[in-house]
Structure 1
Amino acid sequence: MAKVLWAIITMAACFILVEPLKCKKCSVGILGKCLFSSQQACSNSEDRCYTGKAEFNITGVLGFETAGCLANSSCVNSTGSVLGVTYTITRTCCSTDLCSAASTPHLPATTALSAALLVFAWARAMF
């Protein structure tokens, strides 16, 4: 009887001590490189890690990347339009720790700053 009780306690502890999913987080990424990366513990409602990319269809090249935690129901691609310019958002989701592809910054600071200024200038010219 004691063995059965210990087995039940052990099984319960496994469910109670389950750690949340951990994802790579990228708040802002440009040209395929994350400018501000970290790790994130997902909430109970966020059961997937994701990598997202938003591309403006007018440029075909320039886009923004993000990564982090997301609910499975939000792991869908979408399109939209802002001031007549269409965009596509592509999300790739996975469900294991640190599986999102948020790359760390390997760009020199001057290159990253130049890219950010270029995006800002382009956005101001378009809108």
Structure 2
Amino acid sequence: MAKILFGIVAVIACFYLADSLRCNRCTVSLFGVCLNPIDMTCSTNTSVCYTSRATFSNVSSFSGFSRQGCTESSVCPANTTITNSSTIGPSFFPLSYAIISQCCSTDKCNPVSITAAAPANAMSLSVALSAAALAAFWGSHM
């Protein structure tokens, strides 16, 4: 009897694992390098993988921040790219940024990409502080 029960549980587990979407997860990436890459299995109510990247048009040498993971298709439909742009900061030093989200629906379709880091002297202190403020703002709204 125990063998039959174990077999049933094993078959159910195989179906569960076969139906679950697998995505790359990265809660914070800086200079194109994911600081905590994780291979994750999405929950049953999430059906797409996403990669969201915040870039700054004022700072071309800075590759921005990015996040990856699982989300619902109502938030970001599969095979789409969503762009939200805005400007923050005082009028004498505006900082234009864009958040670009790409979504897909196959296993690990959101690859962790590592780009070349920006040179240390390419970012001024004010740009670094503005970028940190945006990252804090973005992190509290995702």
CA drift of 1:125 comes to 6.6
Partner of 1:65: 66
What CA deviation, in whole Å up to 9, does each residue of 1:85-113 have, x standing for no partner?
A: 22101112111111111247x99xxx8xx
CA drift of 1:120 comes to 7.5
CA drift of 1:70 comes to 1.8
Q: Are the counterparts in 2 of residues 47 and 71 from structure 1 also a CA contact under 8 Å? A: yes
The TM-score with structure 2 as length reference comes to 0.58
Give the Cα–Cα distance (whole angstroms) in 2 for the partners of residues 125 and 99 of structure 1.
Answer: 31
Change (3 A) 1:97 1:121: same
The TM-score with structure 1 as length reference comes to 0.63
Partner of 2:42: 42
In structure 2, runs of 5+ residues without a counterpart are 1-11, 77-81, 134-142
What CA deviation, in whole Å up to 9, does each residue of 1:11-65 have, x standing for no partner?
A: xx7xx73532111001121232212100222233321111221101211232112
The aligned amino acid for 1:71 is E
* Ranges of 4+ aligned residues in structure 1 off by more than 3 Å: 16-19, 118-122
From 90, 114, 117, give the equivalent of 2:100. 90
Give the count of matched residue pairs. 107
The aligned amino acid for 1:50 is Y
SS at match of 1:51: strand
Give the Cα–Cα distance (whole angstroms) in 1 for the partners of residues 111 and 52 of structure 2.
Answer: 9
Q: Are the counterparts in 2 of residues 66 and 102 from structure 1 also a CA contact under 8 Å? A: no
Change (3 A) 1:68 1:31: same
* % same residue: 30
In structure 1, runs of 5+ residues without a counterpart are 1-12
